[in-house]
């Protein structure tokens, strides 16, 4: 360091009068990087910066979103008081008025329209304690069956696929530390470089160690650049591709007979089915040459260890569950699971994408991954909650289907916690109309989001800087987010809001909690003996061990880092392979004369989900100020579209206007639009309402569309 620089830093240091440090975790993705907010008082101004903090998963790294997260959390638009809509305008009210209003409206609606007319829409960005409490709140305080959450749009097909095949769903079957040692990996529809950037060094190390990396994605991305082989398939043809790869593996005798015999069922049916497929047809459907398929299949089959990672690219399809299962077939047939450096990773998305799908905010689920339609499971949870089993409601419907229920007048009120469905749900114009139709909409948020603007009552909540609790990261590691930044205005923690509403409704006996830890203590018991067993995990233990991986049935037992070493989680201990036929492809949106292009959607590095948070951060917003359409230059020319001009995109469901961005890195039959923007740039106005038959996942990754330059519209 030069003399001049030293002097600069010394002078700067002297001006800093006080410095405070707040520990927390990033509010964004499933890496849950540990971080510190540094608050420095310089003369009369407070200055903030975020730095990474060492831990076993992210090893002190942060990406650009994490580094700038405080910009939205400290933004002046943060809600600081409850807002009640009076004559179409929001007016600030006290919590007492807000809670009284909720009591009056909820009671009246349930009297008029029945108990199930109330609905609850949750999130995988809240803590485990809050996700657990939200499920209990719906079933015990409101006694409604209608609860579901945004994870339905995210992890549902990976979760259902893993449950069907393995009998259990924890995103990563192996610890993240094993990745650098695997010999071959398939990255199917995952863009980790932009979506979980701090995970990249694990994959880069694998590559340095000689691993062969195969990426499957219709676009070139920062992730596919890492690959030795990029299979740039036509969107939505991943089932054909996975079947083709397994066919080659079987025909080249690269399977693990002993593993198949001892550990799996249904291999023979799969083999029979695949033997009747023709590689030429698969090459035709997918756009991948037979030689590329052979290369991928033989390397994966031949290497001593291998891992498959999937994410929303293959999962957000109306046959997402089947697609996941087709890839899991490959792992099972080659015996590459339940062993060191071999396994599956469904790369979770949201900060608590894993934990929030385990503790009962899904329509069909009770805590600990129990099922609401299983009488033993019902009895156990009813006992923990101190209610009669007959008082527990039954199974509700999935996230998007709740909006259909509103349209049918079966649901007339909704409480949304930590989600912005007007932007994130398919068929967004319909969803907006449905929300407008409600008699009473309550939204709990940090900001007046596009969804919150439609509410009758908006409740201000606390952020990752202020709200303590546990979150389960991409590995299945339960982490404690310590958060102690002073609460802004009259905002309250999400869990506190639930307790106060429950108290107002006369259910205080069931919601006596004074801290997140007290809720966690009840969650431990509620999850005990379930598939996602957290009983052995305590706050103290998490602090001592830097997180604990579930299942952890006893405080004396170690974390479970590798799953399925001796048996799978089905009752007979065997994994179930599945014949995944072409039939499940038939409902998929297809390009046609009127809508000749395929639209796929996804993310960019600097924005997060509906953009409600990242668009408030100047440093992030500056990187991408608006939505865009990625298009191949030849396709752009065919449609008379010039670079960087406005384009109207139409589908059967609606239209949007975005700017063109030409790139040879995308297929000619496909365009890509990220989904982080609102109003006329909201790409979900184009996405249809078909859902996966098993998990109700929408078709975010394929829509049939048409495009026109705006001046010709
Ligand atoms: N920067 C950033 N990071 C995020 C998020 C964010 O919004 N922004 N969100 C978080 C959340 S909640 C999630 S769920 C994850 C999502 O993480 P990812 O699933 O990795 O992200 P996506 O961009 O949705 O899709 C991944 C890739 O799938 C490809 N794809 C599209 N269609 C197909 C197809 O038919 N087949 C195949 N094989 N691939 C296809 C896309 O081109 C894209 O590159 O990211 C998390 N991290
Ligand atoms: N076209 C298309 N659509 C998609 C996807 C896609 O790939 N393509 N991906 C889907 C996926 S994977 C996901 S996960 C969903 C996500 O969809 P959403 O859940 O709608 O997305 P977010 O932007 O996270 O919305 C969170 C809202 O909660 C607020 N918030 C933040 N923190 C807190 C908190 O602690 N408490 C409360 N109460 N509020 C808080 C934020 O301000 C924001 O308004 O979108 C889905 N939609
Ligand atoms: S967005 Fe994800 S990778 Fe980036 S800092 Fe946050 S948790 Fe880490
Ligand atoms: Mo997600």
* Residue 435: both structure tokens together: 């929300």
pLDDT tens, 476-505? 999 999 999 999 999 999 999 999 999 999
Q: Which residue of 421, 424, 697 sits with most ligand 2 atoms within 8 Å of its CB, as the best mutation to test the pocket? A: 424
Burial of 453 (0-12, 13-18, 19+ CB in 10 A): middle
Q: Percentage of the chain surpassing pLDDT 70?
A: 97
Question: In this predicted model, what pLDDT tens digit does every residue of 317-372 receive, in sequence order?
Answer: 999 999 999 999 999 999 999 999 999 999 999 999 999 999 999 999 999 999 99
- Asked if residue 712 has pLDDT above 80, the reply is no
Q: Where in the chain are the domains?
A: 16-73, 83-154+352-528, 156-347, 588-712
- The vertex-602 CA angle with 229 and 352, nearest 5°, equals 100
Q: How far apart are CA 360 and CA 381, in angstroms?
A: 10
What is the per-residue pLDDT for 585?
66
**Which residue has the least CA distance to atom 4 on ligand 3?**
63
CATH second-level architecture of 16-73?
Single Sheet (2.20)
Distance, CA 478 to ligand 4 centroid (Å)?
18
Whether 446 shows a pLDDT value over 60: the answer reads: yes
Ligand 2 center to residue 29 CA distance, Å?
11
Mean predicted confidence (pLDDT) in 65-81: 98
Query: What pLDDT digit, counting tens, does each position of 525-567 carry?
Result: 999 999 999 999 999 999 999 999 999 999 998 888 999 999 9
What one-character-per-residue DSSP string does 211-258 give?
Answer: -EEEEE-SB--TTGGG-SEEE-PPTT-HHHHHHHHHHHHHHTT-S-HH
Q: Which of 473, 482, 623 is nearest to 549 (CA)?
A: 473
Tokens of 703: 């829509």
pLDDT band at 13 (very low <50, low <70, confident <90, very high): low
State the average pLDDT over residues 613-619: 96
Q: Which of the following CATH numbers is that of domain 588-712: 3.40.50.2300, 2.40.40.20, 2.30.30.40, 2.102.10.10? A: 2.40.40.20
Q: Which residue, chain included where needed, has tokens 């007319």?
A: 117
Q: How far is the CA of 34 from the centre of ligand 3 (A)?
A: 9
Kindly provide the b/e burial profile for residues 399-420, where b requires at least 16 CB atoms within 10 angstroms of the residue's own CB: bbbbbbbbeeebbbbbbbbbbb
- CA-nearest residue for atom 8, ligand 3, is 33
Going by C-alpha positions, the residue among 680, 531, 455, 597 that lies closest to residue 167 is 531
Report the sign of the C-alpha dihedral through residues 405, 685, 28, 38, in that order. negative
66 lines ligand 3 (CB under 6 A): yes
- What is the per-residue pLDDT across 229-258, written as a single tens digit (0 to 9) for each? 999 999 999 999 999 999 999 999 999 999
pLDDT band, very low/low/confident/very high, at 3 (cuts 50, 70, 90)? confident
Per-residue pLDDT, 581: 87
Mean pLDDT of 436-465: 98
Nearest-CA residue for ligand 1 atom 10 is 349
- The Cα–Cα gap between 161 and 163 comes to 5
Using 50, 70 and 90 to split pLDDT, how confident is the model at 9?
low
Distances (CA, A) of 515 to 24, 445, 493, 508: 17, 20, 10, 15
pLDDT band at 8 (very low <50, low <70, confident <90, very high): confident
What gap in Å lies between CA 88 and CA 453, rounded to an integer? 10
DSSP structure class, residue 698: B
Q: Which CATH architecture is the domain 83-154+352-528 placed in?
A: 3-Layer(aba) Sandwich (3.40)
Q: Does domain 156-347 have CATH number 3.40.228.10?
A: yes
Note the pLDDT tens digit of each residue in 184-214.
999 999 999 999 999 999 999 999 999 999 9
Residue 194 CA, ligand 3 centroid: distance in Å? 10
Q: Give residue 42's pLDDT band: very low, low, confident or very high (50, 70, 90).
A: confident
| 479, two tokens | 């982490």
The alpha carbon of 190 and the centre of ligand 1 are apart by a number of angstroms equal to 6
Whether the predicted pLDDT of 115 surpasses 70: yes
Q: For a ligand 1 pocket test, name from 239, 349, 424, 670 the mutation site with the most ligand atoms within 8 angstroms of its C-beta.
A: 349
Indicate whether residue 349 lines ligand 3 (CB < 6 A): no
* Any ligand 2 atom below 6 A from CB of 392: no
Residue that wins the pLDDT comparison between 333 and 587: 333
Q: Ligand 1 centre from 214 Cα, in Å? A: 16
Kindly state the average pLDDT of the residues 22-26. 98
Q: How far apart are CA 531 and CA 551, in angstroms?
A: 7
């Amino acid at each position: 360091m030069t003399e001049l620089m030293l002097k600069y830093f010394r002078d700067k240091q002297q001006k800093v009068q006080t410095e405070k440090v707040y520990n927390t975790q990033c509010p964004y993705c499933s890496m849950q990087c540990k971080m510190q907010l540094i608050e420095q008082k310089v003369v009369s101004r407070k200055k903030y910066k975020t730095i990474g903090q060492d831990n076993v998963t992210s090893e002190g790294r942060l990406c650009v979103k994490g580094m700038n997260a405080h910009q939205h959390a400290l933004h002046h638009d943060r809600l600081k008081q409850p807002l009640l809509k009076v004559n179409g305008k929001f007016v600030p009210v006290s919590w007492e008025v807000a809670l009284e209003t909720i009591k009056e409206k909820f009671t009246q609606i349930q009297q008029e329209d029945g108990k199930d007319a109330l609905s609850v829409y949750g999130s995988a960005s809240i803590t485990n304690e809050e996700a657990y409490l939200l499920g209990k709140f719906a079933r015990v305080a409101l006694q409604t069956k209608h609860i579901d959450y945004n994870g339905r749009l995210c992890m549902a097909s990976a979760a259902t696929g893993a449950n069907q095949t393995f009998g259990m769903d924890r995103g990563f079957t192996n610890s993240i530390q094993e990745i650098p040692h695997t010999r071959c990996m398939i990255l199917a529809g995952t863009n980790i470089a932009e979506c979980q950037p701090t995970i990249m060094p694990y994959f880069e190390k694998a590559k340095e160690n000689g691993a062969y990396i195969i990426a499957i994605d219709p676009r070139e991305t920062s992730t596919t650049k890492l690959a030795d082989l990029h299979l740039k398939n036509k969107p939505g043809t991943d089932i054909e591709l996975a079947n083709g790869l397994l066919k080659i593996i079987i025909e080249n005798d690269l399977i693990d007979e002993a593993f198949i015999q001892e550990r799996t069922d249904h291999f023979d049916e799969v083999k029979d089915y695949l033997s009747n497929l023709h590689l030429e047809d698969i090459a035709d459907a997918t756009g991948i040459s037979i030689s590329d398929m052979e290369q991928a299949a033989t390397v994966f089959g031949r290497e001593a260890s291998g891992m498959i990672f999937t994410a929303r690219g293959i999962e957000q399809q109306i046959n997402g569950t089947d697609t996941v299962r087709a890839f899991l077939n490959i792992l099972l047939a080659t015996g590459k699971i339940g062993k060191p450096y071999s396994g599956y990773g469904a790369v979770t998305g949201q900060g608590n994408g894993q934990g929030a799908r385990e503790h009962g905010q899904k329509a069909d689920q009770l805590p600990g991954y129990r099922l609401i339609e299983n009488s033993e499971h019902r009895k156990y949870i009813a006992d923990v909650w101190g209610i009669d089993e007959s008082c527990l409601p039954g199974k509700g419907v999935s996230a998007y289907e709740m909006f259909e229920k509103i349209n049918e007048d079966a649901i007339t009120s909704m409480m949304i916690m930590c989600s912005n469905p007007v932007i994130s749900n398919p068929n967004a114009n319909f969803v907006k109309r449905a929300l407008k139709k409600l008699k009473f909409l309550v939204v709990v948020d940090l900001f007046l989001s596009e969804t919150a603007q439609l509410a009758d009552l908006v409740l201000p909540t606390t952020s990752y800087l202020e709200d303590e609790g546990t979150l389960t990261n991409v590995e299945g590691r339960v982490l404690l987010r310590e958060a102690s930044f002073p609460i802004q205005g009259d905002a309250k923690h999400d869990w506190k809001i639930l307790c106060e509403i429950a108290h107002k409704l006369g259910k205080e006996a069931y919601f006596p909690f004074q801290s997140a830890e007290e809720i966690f203590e009840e969650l431990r018991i509620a999850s005990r003996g379930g598939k996602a067993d957290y009983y052995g995990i305590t706050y103290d233990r998490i602090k001592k061990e830097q997180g604990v991986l579930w299942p952890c049935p006893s405080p004396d037992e170690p974390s479970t880092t590798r799953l399925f070493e001796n048996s799978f989680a089905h009752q007979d201990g065997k994994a179930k392979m599945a014949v995944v036929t072409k039939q499940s492809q038939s409902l998929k949106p297809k390009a046609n004369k009127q809508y000749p292009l395929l639209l796929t959607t996804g993310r960019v590095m600097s924005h997060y989900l509906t953009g409600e948070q990242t668009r408030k951060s100047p440093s992030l917003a500056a990187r991408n100020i608006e939505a865009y359409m990625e298009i191949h230059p030849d396709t752009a020319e065919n449609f008379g579209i010039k670079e960087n001009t406005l384009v109207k995109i139409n589908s059967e469901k609606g239209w949007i206007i975005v700017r063109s961005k030409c790139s040879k890195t995308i297929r000619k039959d496909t365009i890509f639009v990220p989904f982080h923007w609102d109003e006329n740039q909201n790409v979900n106005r184009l996405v249809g309402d078909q859902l996966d038959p098993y998990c109700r996942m929408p078709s975010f990754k394929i829509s049939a569309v048409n495009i026109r330059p705006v001046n010709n519209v």
